[in-house]
Amino acid sequence: MKELTTVIFDMDGTLADTEEVHRQAFNLAFDDFNLDWHWSRKEYADLLVISGGRERIRQYALDCTDFKMPPDLDDYVAGIHKLKTNHYARMLVEGHVTLRPGVRRLLEECRDAGIRMSIATSSQLSNVTTLLDNNLPANWPSWFEIIASCDIVEAKKPAPDVYCYVMNKMKVSAENCLALEDTRNGFLSAQAAGIPTIITTHYFTRNNDFEGAPLIVDSLGEPDKPFQVSGGDPDLLEQIEAGDTNYVDLDLFRQIVADTHFQPDAIDQCA
């Protein structure tokens, strides 16, 4: 039996449904730069295959045939992204984003049970702190041992680097960890690090390929707001259907980690 000791959370799309606000912030920054770019929801969903905001802007610029390339593309992209980050932070402070169903409950369950927690995200640290400052008690930083943002590792998701960094810093093994993600890149990152991963989908990722994930749901759910299951390990899904489980709780976390059948077929690259 493998024992759960550590839960590693992604942020964007997982802790909170932030992607739509990110999309709007990108478009506002494009307006600030007098660009005629406008990312639709469908287009942004396609762009999420690229991890990192700066990387998305850069690739989009390279793909635009009618875009006059600036002398220093990286500086230009950094300028757009800085304005985008400012717009995003303002929208968070104004209350445009709240935690997804079940997140606050599970954070408190893990904390009360002595489960170690951390965050592994491709977003900036400032985005993490602004979101959680506005949605959790003032002492929330003490809830997480490590917050690994895009500035910590060079290779972003789907590379396993950010998960490897967290596990190495916490001195924990993948067999005792569980990850929560919402995108294919995030899933591949955790899977490559050998960590079983629960997927919580949303508009931008509900059609992603998450084959191999033990559980795929539309949210973590609440007792009065059940999740909708869209995939996962057949044995686990049969147990969920046969029982009265309609939201993710700490017992379900433990079950996924404890049963080796639910471990992803991945080689731990973090040693």
- Rounded-to-integer distance, Cα 133 and Cα 200, Å: 22
pLDDT band at 184 (very low <50, low <70, confident <90, very high): very high
Task: Read off the pLDDT of residues 224-260 as tens digits, 9 standing for 90 and up.
Answer: 999 999 999 999 999 898 887 899 999 999 999 988 5
**Active-site annotation holds for 10:** yes
H or E element at residue 252 = helix 250-258
pLDDT band at 265 (very low <50, low <70, confident <90, very high): very low
Catalogue all structural domains in the chain, each as residue range(s) with its CATH number. Answer: 6-17+99-262 (3.40.50.1000), 19-93 (1.10.150.240)
* pLDDT for res 261: 54
Task: Read off the pLDDT of residues 148-166 as tens digits, 9 standing for 90 and up.
Answer: 998 898 899 999 999 999 9
* pLDDT for res 262: 43
Tokens 């007792």 -> residue? 223
* Burial 83-108, CB ≥16 within 10 A → b, else e: bbbebbbebbeeebbebbbbbbbbbe
Task: Read off the pLDDT of residues 70-113 as tens digits, 9 standing for 90 and up.
Answer: 999 999 999 999 999 999 999 988 988 999 999 999 999 999 99
Q: C-alpha angle with apex 74: 92 to 64, nearest 5 degrees?
A: 85
**Active-site annotation holds for 12:** yes
Task: Read off the pLDDT of residues 192-202 as tens digits, 9 standing for 90 and up.
Answer: 999 999 999 99
Q: What are the φ/ψ torsions at residue 163 (nearest 5 degrees)? A: -70, -40
